[in-house]
Amino acid sequence: MYNFTIPSQLKAWIDRILVAGKTFKYDANGPQGLAGNKRVIVAISRGGYYGAGTPAASMEHLETYLRGVFAFIGITSPEFIIADGIQVGPEHREKALAGALQAATSLRAA
Ligand SMILES: Cc1cc2nc3c(=O)[nH]c(=O)nc-3n(C[C@H](O)[C@H](O)[C@H](O)COP(=O)(O)O)c2cc1C
């Protein structure tokens, strides 16, 4: 997370993969995703905590944005590996990284 959302490098990638006629199209029913056959795994890390009920939850525009972007192109169930609180302190960082590694290990095989 950079400044509550995605880093600009990732935004540049998104600008290249959301292409009308390739990964989405508009028809009489509105936008239709054309990339629904892809599996997407997103690993995110955040310096602080942004989960439901936290004081900063309303500033979470990273995971929510990515879920919206992928849904727009037809990927409605992206899998997220999350490490939160990595700049809060060493113990938070260790716990976050261990949890994320465990979650990554538990991903089902494609
Ligand atoms: C430019 C910049 C902006 C950041 N903004 C946030 C932020 O808004 N919220 C947050 O929790 N962490 C923020 N962080 C901390 C990063 O999310 C954290 O360091 C990141 O998980 C590690 O990624 P990196 O190795 O690319 O820095 C920021 C870090 C940088 C360098």
Grade residue 109 by pLDDT with cuts at 50, 70 and 90. Answer: confident
- Model confidence at 83: pLDDT above 90: yes
* pLDDT-based confidence at residue 85 (cuts at 50, 70, 90): very high
Instruction: Give one word for 89, left, alpha or beta, with left for phi > 0 and alpha for psi -120 to 50.
Output: left
Measured distance CA(51)–CA(54) in Å, rounded = 6
* Distance of CA 32 from the midpoint of ligand 1 (Å): 33
- Compute the distance from residue 41 Cα to the ligand 1 centre, in Å: 20
Q: Is 3 in the pocket of ligand 1 (CB under 6 A)?
A: yes
- Whether 5 shows a pLDDT value over 90: the answer reads yes
Say if residues 6 and 65 touch (Cβ distance below 8 Å): yes
- Tell me the CATH architecture of domain 8-105: 3-Layer(aba) Sandwich (3.40)
| pTM beyond cutoff 0.85 | yes
| Domain ranges (residues) in the chain | 8-105
Joined together, the tokens standing for residue 51 give 């989960």
Q: Which residues contact 3 (CB under 8 A, 6 or more apart)?
A: none
Q: Which atom of ligand 1 is nearest to the CA of 50?
A: 11
Tell me, using a 6 A CB cutoff, whether residue 75 lines ligand 1. Answer: no
How confident is the model at residue 60, as a pLDDT?
98
Does ligand 1 come within 6 angstroms of the Cβ of 57? no
